[in-house]
Homo-oligomer: A and B are copies of this chain.
Amino acid sequence: MARLGEFDLIERLFAPLAEGFPGALNLKDDAALVPISTGCRLVVTTDALVAGVHFRTDDPPDLVARKALRVNLSDLAAMGAKPLGLLVAACFPKDVDESWLTRFAKGLAQDKAEFGVPIIGGDTVSTPGPFTLAVTALGEVEEGRALKRSAAQAGDVIMVSGTIGDGALGLDALEGKLANLFEDERKWLADRYLLPRPRLELGQALAASRKAHAGMDISDGLLADLAHICRASGLSGIVRVQDIPLSSPARTALKDDPKRIERILAGGDDYELLITAPASSVAPLQEIAARFRLGLTVIGHMAEGAGVQALDASGAPMSLPFKGWRHF
């Protein structure tokens, strides 16, 4: 890319993304300055995404940008944090063209507007490898209120927001694997894969309510992520598979091929919230979720022991490969 130097690039495409946030210093300094509210903890998370590994190389650049931001905002949502700002470290292939970069920056700008979260810093470098992106999200949460993986208690119910499996089935749809579905259904699922909805308002309201115990977002797959809560809390988790909330296109896909239950349970890319809470909290937590027009569905419970069990409609344990998304 001969025409744009790094600094021109940042100035033209990225500096507007910091507008409205004085501490970003117009992206011209070594670092950004971020005020944290009194009585709050900073919440910070980082995710790396590689073209061809975490997204398809021909995914539209604006959607790649937006998904990268949203995946990180979802990690803030999981803890009940209010987002403050994002940092984007981007490694562009040397032959990237200006139009690709412009569309990428447009995606960042769209989600800055949609979520009201500025891009307050970052880095742009060139790479001989595939386009690679590391996003860092900063948020804040009142001291003692963050939802953690380790806070589940035996007897807690397990709940999930929204519907499960749409992201993984959306990837299948994009890869031409759901030929029997209507095009509208395939498009709806693909959109769920390409553009996750971080449950920020729900996460903040759940944390503020003090009625939930453990919490995380579902990225690796429902069962793999529940296994994280089990390990961190020293408990086991039992899921009744028929209680897992499915979208109408996901139900159709499952009817078409019952083996797709594995994609739904283990495919990942859901970015819904997975929480545990005492049974007495179910109704008030569902009322909170309804404020954001979201379902919050009981799918099982936590117990003494270790590991995750999935039970079929008859209550018998299912044998499933549910390693979730492993990067190696």
On whether the beta carbons of A150 and B327 are closer than 8 Å, the reply is no
On whether the beta carbons of B91 and A30 are closer than 8 Å, the reply is no
A136 at interface, CB cutoff 8 A: yes
Q: Give chain A interface residues in 11-66, CB to chain B under 8 Å.
A: 23, 25, 28-36, 38, 41-50, 52-54
Separation of A114 and B120 alpha carbons in the complex (Å): 29
On whether the beta carbons of B126 and A129 are closer than 8 Å, the reply is no
On whether the beta carbons of A126 and B25 are closer than 8 Å, the reply is no
On whether the beta carbons of A87 and B44 are closer than 8 Å, the reply is yes
On whether the beta carbons of B123 and A53 are closer than 8 Å, the reply is no
Copies in the complex: 2
**Which chain B residues lie closer than 8 Å to A46 at the CB level?**
87, 89, 121-123, 134, 136
Known interface pairs A4-B328, A126-B328. Does A41 touch B28 (Cβ–Cβ under 8 Å)? no
A81 at interface, CB cutoff 8 A: yes
**Which chain B residues lie closer than 8 Å to A132 at the CB level?**
48, 50, 91, 127, 129, 132
Separation of A122 and B46 alpha carbons in the complex (Å): 6
**Which chain B residues lie closer than 8 Å to A148 at the CB level?**
25, 29
A152 at interface, CB cutoff 8 A: no
Closest-CB distance, A27 to chain B (whole angstroms): 11
On whether the beta carbons of B149 and A31 are closer than 8 Å, the reply is no
Closest-CB distance, A241 to chain B (whole angstroms): 24
**Which chain B residues lie closer than 8 Å to A217 at the CB level?**
30
Separation of A45 and B124 alpha carbons in the complex (Å): 13
Closest-CB distance, A193 to chain B (whole angstroms): 18
- Of A72-80, A167-175, A246-254, A256-264, the stretch lying at the interface with chain B is A72-80
Known interface pairs A45-B121, A134-B134. Does A30 touch B216 (Cβ–Cβ under 8 Å)? yes
Separation of A30 and B216 alpha carbons in the complex (Å): 7
Closest-CB distance, A11 to chain B (whole angstroms): 10
On whether the beta carbons of B78 and A1 are closer than 8 Å, the reply is no
A-B residue pairs in contact (CB < 8 Å), sample of 11 = A29-B79, A29-B149, A31-B139, A36-B41, A36-B42, A38-B38, A44-B136, A45-B121, A50-B126, A50-B127, A53-B127
